[in-house]
Chain A
Amino acid sequence: MVRGVPPTARILTAFLITATAIFMLVPLAVVMLSSISASEFLVFPPRGFSLRWYGEIMASDAYLKAGWTSIKLALVVTVLAIGIGTPTAIALYRFRLPGGEALGALFLSPLVLPTLIFGIGLLVLFSSWGSGPSFTGLVIGHLVISLPYVIRTVGAVLADADPALEEAARTMGANVWQRYRYVVLPQCAAGMAAGGFFAFNISFDDAVVALFMRAPDVETLPLRIYSQLEFSPDPSVAAVSTIMILLTIFLVFLIDRLFGLKRIA
C-alpha cells in the first residue's frame, strides 16, 4: 500500500475495484454456469449438470450457420481493417498531411458517434441503392466501427517509435519499399495485432449494425442469440455465449504469446 493515502480513499478504492470486478466478471460466470444446466430454461443458479445444450448447438443448423457467418464476417473485417488501418495510421502519424488533424478526427469519429444511428443510416443508404442488407453491407458497417481501433493501436506504436530509424535505414541504402518492409511494418506489427484483435471482437460481438443489415440469409451469431432469447430462452444461449467468451480468451492468449500484451496495451 502506498503510504500517505488517507484511509477513506483506500476504502473507496478497494470498494471500486471490488465493484468493478463483480460487475465485469460475475455476469460472465453466471452465463458460463447456466450453460451447463440440465434445466429446460435459462435460470440461475443452474439445476443439475449437463452438457446437452452444447450438443444442441452443434446439431442446430441455425446456430452453426450464424456462427460460420459471424466468423467469416469477423475475419474479413479483421483483414480489411488491418489492411486499411495500418497505411492510414502511417499516413496520419508519419507524414505531414494538409488537414491531417481533421482527417485523424474523421477516422476516429466512429468511436464517439452512436452506432445505432450509423446503422440506420447505412440501411437507408443501402436500400436507396436498391441492394438492401447484405454481407457486403455488414462488412462495410463493421469496417467503419472497427477501423478507429486499428488506427489508434498502430498509431500508438508509431508515436512511440524513433523516427530516426527510417532516416537511418535510408542512409544505409534502403529504398522506400525496403524501409517499409524491414523497418516500418515490423515496428507496426504489435499494433496491427492488437488492432486486428479489437476489429475481430467488435465485428464478432456487434448486434447493432447487424440488426439493420440483417437479411434472411445473413444472420450473425449475436442476432441468433438475441432471437433465441426472445422466442425460447433455453440454456443453449448460454452455451453459445460461453463458446464466444472462450474464443475471446484464446485470442488474447494467442496475441500475448506472439506479441506480448504489455507492448500494446
Chain B
Amino acid sequence: MARLQIDKISKSFGRNEVLKGLSVDIPDGGFVSLLGPSGCGKSTLMRLVAGLEQASGGRILIDDEDITGLAPEHRHVALMFQSYALFPHMSVAENIRFPLAMRGKGSADEQRSRVEEALDMVQLGQFAKRLPKQLSGGQQQRVALARAIVARPRVLLLDEPLSNLDARLREDMQIELIELHKRLKLTTVFVTHDQDEALSLSDSIILMRNGVIEQSGTPEDLYDRPVNSFVADFMGGSNVVPARVSGGRLTALDGAIDIPAGDMPETTTAVAIRQEHLRPVSADAAPDGAILFGADRQTRVFLGSRARYRYQTGGQVLHALVPGEHIAAADMADCLSVDPAKLRPLRD
C-alpha cells in the first residue's frame, strides 16, 4: 500500500524512444488502468515500475522513496504476467508461498496460513496440491493473482491479466478483482488494451499513445469528455466527425452542420457526437432547434434493448444507437438529427 509517482520517465531501446517523459501520480490504494493500443508503451512503463527495465531518464517513487535504480527483488512491487508465469514444477501452494519464502516473511506456520488465506480469497482452497498444468486457464489466473497479493506488495501490477480468458469468465473476474481491491486496498496498476475493461474496473484511466499520455482522468472524463479525436475514437461510443471553426461558426459534413461556434476554440479539428445522441428521424419530425440532415441508411444491427444504425453522408460513416421503443420509428427515418449542445469539440 503506497503512493506511486512516476516523474518524467523516459525509455529508449536503441534509437527507438518508447516512453517520452511521462508523469503519473497514483494515490495510495488507487486502481488505475494503463490503456492504449499495442506498442503505446504501457507494458514498458509497467516493467519499469517493476524494475525489469531500466529507465533512460526520470524517476519512480514509492511513498516519496526514489526506487528508480533499485533491483526488482528489493522493490516489493508484484507483477502478474499475462502468461501468469506460474512455476510449472511447484504445486499451487508452493507457487503462492514463493514470495513469502523468498522474503523470509514469518515462520513456516505463518506462511502456511497466509497461503491458505490467499487461496481462499481466490476460491482455490481445494487445489493447493495440484500442479499448475492440472488447472484450467481461469484457475491458473487465480493462482497467479493469489501469488501476486500474498505478500501484500506496495504496488500491484497486472499485465493484461484477463486477456486469456473467455468473455464470461472475464466478467466474473472483473467483479472479483474489484472486490479484492476493495478488501485489500492495494495500489493497483492494470494494463489493458480493452477500453471497456478499463472503464468498468478502474477509478482512473491513463490513455497512452506512442509513449505519451493522451488523456488521464476518471472513466467518465475520458468517455464523456475526450480531449482529442484519438481519445474519442479509442474510448468508443462516439462518432468523430472532421470539423472546423472559423468566423464564429462551426462547420462539418460539407455544411450539413453549420452552427454558431460559441466558445469552441479555433484549434478544433473535429467534433465528437455520441452514438446515442444521434437520432434517426423523418424530415418533418425533427425536434426544435436540432441540427437535421439527410443521410443514407446502410445497415441496422439489433442489440436486444437497442439497435445500432449505420448511416453514410458525404463519405462520412455515422453510427446511431437507438433505444428499443424508437426502433420502429427509426426504421422509417431518412434523416439524422442531433442537439447542437451535444457536439463536443476535439483537437488533434
Contact = CB atoms under 8 A, between A and B. Distances in A.
B89 A167 contact: no
Interface stretch (A17-25, A27-35, A170-178, A214-222): A170-178
Contacts of A170: 51-52, 71-73
Given A170-B52, A170-B73, A182 B98 contact: yes
A173 B85 contact: no
Interface in B43-67: 50-52
Contact of B52 (A171, A172, A174, A182): A171
Interface in A140-182: 161-162, 164-165, 167-175, 178, 182
A172 B102 contact: yes
A183 B75 CA distance: 20
Nearest to A174: B102
Nearest to B79: A171
A83 interface: no
| Dominant SS among interface residues on chain B | loop
A187 interface: yes
A187 B87 CA distance: 9
A186 interface: yes
B249 interface: no
Given A183-B87, A186-B89, A187-B88, A171 B98 contact: no
A171 B80 CA distance: 9
B99 interface: yes
B234 interface: no
Contacts of B72: 167, 170-171
Contacts of B79: 167-168, 171
Contacts of A169: 87, 98, 102
A159 to B, nearest CB: 15
Contacts of A173: 73-74, 76, 99, 102-103, 151
Given A168-B79, A172-B78, A172-B151, A162 B102 contact: no
Contacts of A175: 73, 102
B123 interface: no
Nearest to B71: A170
B77 interface: yes
Nearest to B81: A164
A119 to B, nearest CB: 40
Given A164-B83, A186-B89, A187-B89, A172 B98 contact: yes
Interface in B231-247: none
A165 B85 contact: yes
12 contacts: A162-B85, A164-B81, A167-B50, A167-B85, A170-B72, A171-B50, A171-B72, A171-B77, A172-B102, A172-B147, A175-B102, A183-B87
Given A165-B85, A187-B89, 10 more contacts: A162-B85, A167-B52, A167-B72, A167-B79, A168-B85, A169-B98, A170-B51, A171-B50, A173-B74, A174-B98
